[in-house]
Chains A and B, each alone.
Chain A
Amino acid sequence: MNIPYQIVVCGGVVPDPLQTLEPIATANGPALKNELLLPHVLDPWSAHALYEAAHLARRSAGSKVWLVSVAPKTKLQQVMMTIGQRVPLELVAIEGPASGFTDAADVAAALAAGIEGIAGLDQSRLLLFGGWESASRAAGATMQMVGERLGIIDQFQGVDELSVADDGALRILERIEGGQHQVSVCSGPPVLLGWATGNLPEPPNHPQIGMQNMRAIMPALQKARTAQISGGARFESVTLPKQQRATRIVKDKPVEEIAREIVTWVTAE
């Protein structure tokens, strides 16, 4: 049974993780040093969600993908130059901070409002995707609140796989302890999936998809509404994580030896 899904993916942008991310205190609370100047990428969890959406949409004829994003427009535009060449999508842009120090509830409200504003959205075909820890830098709460606001009660978090049965039922694998998955079967949309890494590859780049997307992306960016995101939470202090990057270049090392070294390192902690 082919169901033409309406897949809405929520995804913010974050500074490229290879950049120097140095917390600083500002009059408006904590921030990252030079954050606006740093190159950004789509939040990695959201990126997995988007790629899974693209694969599903390609398999289910008539499906469509929306990307709803709360982010500074200029940064979002930069990110769309990459993402827009991989996934045919329609962008719903909401101007707002991408900072990790915003309140997840405010972000969720802005996303839900953006989704409700999509013309012709049909709840009976709606798959709401997002990263399970996106938008609030690992608070893990945003997608859940978006779902609540939209009245979607079938929610799955830490999803690694979605398959559609012949009768249209959705079989979902969620991460649980010990590297295992919980298997759930849901009769169908509407459903919310907070993706972990998924298991499908990045869709191939294609410039013609990019050119097609850009015709709608630029107007979407221009008419982006500004979300009221207050910040909400008060941060007592912000510091860098204690772990340090220690890169070694080792060539031709057997896999078994690498695994043994990792186990030794983990158990020594």
Chain B
Amino acid sequence: MDATAVRPHAETLRTLPGDDVRQIMWRFADRLDLQMLVQSARAVARGPVARLVANGARSTHEWTEQKALLLKEFDAAGITGAPLEPADGGYIEGPKNLALALIAFELAWVDAGAATGSLAGCLALAPIHERGTAEQRQRYTRLCAPPEPGEDRKPWRGAFCLTEPLPYVGVETSLLGGRVRVVEWEAGKEPFLEVDKRGRFITNMGFANFVTAAVDSDDPRIKGTCMVVLEETDPGTFDRGTPTRKLVHQLSSTCDPVFRMRVPADRIIGGYTVKDGIIIPRYSHGEIIEAVFRRTRVTVGLMTSAKLLSAVEPVIRYQRDRFRGSSAVSAGSPRYELGLQQKPDALHRLLDVWATGEASASLGFTAARLFDELEPVEKEKDRILAGQGIHGGSAAFKALRKVQKDALEYLELRRKPVGRRESQRFEKLENDPLVKYLLLDSLASVYCPACKLWNTGHGANMMREAVSLMGGYGITEDCPGFLGYKWMDAQLEATYEGPEAVQRRQLSVTMINEVFLAQFRGWVAEMREIAATRPGTGACSLATAMQMWLWTVQHLQVAKDADGAALYQTNRQGVTFALADALCWLLSARSFILDVMELEQAGPQNPVVAEGLAGTVQFLSDLCHVQTARSAGEAGRICAELVYGYNRHPAWDEEGYKGCYHMDELMALESIIPGLASMATDVIESDGSHPAKAGPCAKCEGLEPFIRLRTKLDGCLTGSQLAKDRAAEALTKVMIPAALDYPA
């Protein structure tokens, strides 16, 4: 990219981006319901939640009366009712993934434990919502609905019980310690089951009225695994257990419960059939978990994004105020006014935190919107397949496999100019719900783990950076913005609902889906087009990095290591996981660029945004450039390690000598080609000695395209540090509020 093509606007960022800007970037400017939800969730976060944290509520892992008051606040704010359908006491029409993402973001801006607590109820209901029978959905969603205005009713709270205790730490899709058996089965009547389950780290358990628990059959009369609903008044033991001695997220209730209860078989989520005297649950626990976690992981990813963005204002204030109050620093002097912001390092490091926060928020909200878009399409897909007598499982997989060809054809046609493609065929494919499903599903299956992995994993690292910018203050309870707590919390977010290895594993499968890769190829061209009109965003360097990643994926899928073993295979996590990491960098940077483009296009229609739009777009574009340069660098490093790293380096042995000149031979050639000797690096002397290095230089045959891309990528970073300097300058001028809007 040519840096001279970048002509920065003279305007600079005037204030920190406000709600109007965020509504456009994250695409809910036309959703009044979501705008209201943001305001009410924020009022809870920066009011009761912040006061609890400031008053030391995080110093105990016990569920206290003060913490319990938050539940009523969640009810009143619409947080509890947000996941419910309007008919069941909710108020948001249609899919609710973006709504839940915004709630998580707002609460985690102050305290992610509060966010987790609020969402855990939703998580408990999710198995019933996703896979429950109509009766189950009706019963539990209505019980959980918050009271209507003027109604005096205590809503039920739920807990999702999957994780199990030692020695089976955590969650396995194939292993379960919890057991279910038949204890009573009169002919023609509903069987009764005994459920035996011990949970660990179960959120909301301190007060839950019901539990959705994953169990395995302990009875030949029950087939496989399932999830069952346990109510606190069911006969048997409903022991909430001891509070988990966690160091983080202390505003949520987490316990290690024990259940041994008798329940009717109609509590099996999704129902069951009886065949040859055996109860066959309609859904295994694995199928239910997949449907649930697929969506809820996005909200976890956004919790860490909120922390990073919430750090910006307190850090700026700390930097500027750093020397005020000292008798040696007089009011009005540069040191008084700018404090630590006189030094570029403080600014650059804060920019890195901010850019990561922006990119991760963009990635997370993109994923949330994607699931909103996917939800009705998925239902339509299920309806169509059911019409063909296909009800999930491998039959559905096979049926969709046949449609994959159509999806790829559609993408191929879409790339062509309108006049040069077969329009009838294109329209047919475009309106095919199954094609649409495959396209969206392939993206959702990548974006969800990418968001969970990168936002929380890299986010936790950057939270450490944010804490360090506050000096010793950062690791005190009094740190404005609770940054020390947030750093710790981020580590939990990287772990729960599937730790980083699980996300990498999922990505290693979904990112090589041909339908995803075909769309990804299209994004390279998309980034180049953006770069043509907006070179200052770094879109061009991102496009090159994306090309390099694509080349590397293709290469590694056929390449072998030095011992002849395949590189891209399930157990070769050194390859697959690293490529997954690289992809996350690229996806987050792309999402950020697209959000800034949206702001630039839609901003002028909103008078408030239009007022400072030029400066805001200039600053965010510079931030994009900073982030794309970092992303391209990371992706380039990872790809280079993988492409070269599995080849054995030549040694000073017989094989290695084959690629070297011998001094005598070189001298003879020199007489024919003068100057050749000066270019030869690996020369074996007449006495057999060789240059002092690891071995002859590696030849890299067949890797020339990669070498060209890598060289090009390095050049593409041109201008990125100029953008960083511009953004740093803006940081010294941006107006921030007089005080943080929540206590510390």
Contacts and interface: CB of A to CB of B under 8 A. Distances in A.
B737 interface: yes
A74 interface: yes
A205 B43 contact: yes
Interface string A187-225: 000000000000000001111111100100010000000
A16 B27 CA distance: 25
A33 B15 CA distance: 10
Contacts of A33: 735
Contacts of B740: 18
A85 B39 contact: yes
A175 interface: no
B77 interface: yes
Interface in B715-744: 735-741, 744
A84 B735 CA distance: 29
Contacts of B478: 249
Contacts of B82: 207
A240 to B, nearest CB: 11
A131 interface: no
Contacts of B149: 206, 208-209
B606 A205 contact: no
A16 B612 contact: no
A228 interface: no
B76 interface: yes
A218 B36 CA distance: 13
Given A38-B15, A74-B20, A204 B607 contact: no
A244 B737 CA distance: 14
A208 B148 contact: yes
Interface in A144-193: none
Interface in A213-250: 214, 218, 245, 247, 249
B739 A36 contact: no
Given A18-B739, A36-B607, A74-B607, A205 B76 contact: yes
A39 interface: yes
A204 B40 contact: no
A18 B741 CA distance: 7
B331 to A, nearest CB: 11
A2 interface: no
A20 B32 contact: no
B611 A37 contact: yes
A207 B40 contact: yes
A264 interface: no
B608 interface: yes
Given A81-B32, A85-B40, A245-B738, A37 B607 contact: no
B78 interface: yes
A206 B73 CA distance: 10
A26 interface: no
A76 to B, nearest CB: 11
Contact of B611 (A18, A21, A36): A36
Contacts of B43: 82, 205
A81 B28 CA distance: 13
Contact of B76 (A21, A74, A81, A206): A206
A98 B676 CA distance: 79
A211 B149 CA distance: 13
User: What bracket does the count of chain B residues touching chain A fall in?
Assistant: 35 or more
Nearest to A78: B19
A84 to B, nearest CB: 7
Interface in B1-37: 14-15, 18-20, 32-33, 35-37
B148 to A, nearest CB: 7
A29 B737 CA distance: 23
B77 to A, nearest CB: 6
A37 B737 CA distance: 12
B36 A207 contact: yes
A124 interface: no
B612 A208 contact: no
A85 B33 CA distance: 10
Nearest to A207: B78
**Most chain A CB inside 10 Å of its own CB: which residue of B38, B608, B738:** B608
Contacts of A210: 36, 40, 78, 91
A209 B40 CA distance: 12
Interface string A33-49: 11011110000000000
Nearest to B738: A20
Contacts of A19: 737-738
Nearest to B148: A208
Contacts of A214: 32-33, 36
Interface in A112-158: none
A30 interface: no
Contacts of A207: 33, 36-37, 40, 77-78, 81-82, 91
A245 B37 CA distance: 32
Contacts of B91: 207-208, 210-211
Given A18-B738, A36-B608, 10 more contacts: A16-B737, A18-B740, A19-B737, A20-B738, A81-B32, A207-B36, A208-B148, A210-B78, A210-B91, A249-B478
Q: List the 10 shortest-distance A-B pairs measured between CB atoms, nearest first.
A: A207-B78, A81-B39, A37-B15, A82-B39, A210-B36, A36-B611, A74-B608, A205-B76, A19-B737, A81-B36
15 contacts: A18-B739, A18-B740, A20-B736, A34-B14, A34-B611, A37-B14, A37-B608, A37-B611, A38-B18, A74-B606, A75-B608, A85-B78, A205-B76, A210-B36, A245-B739
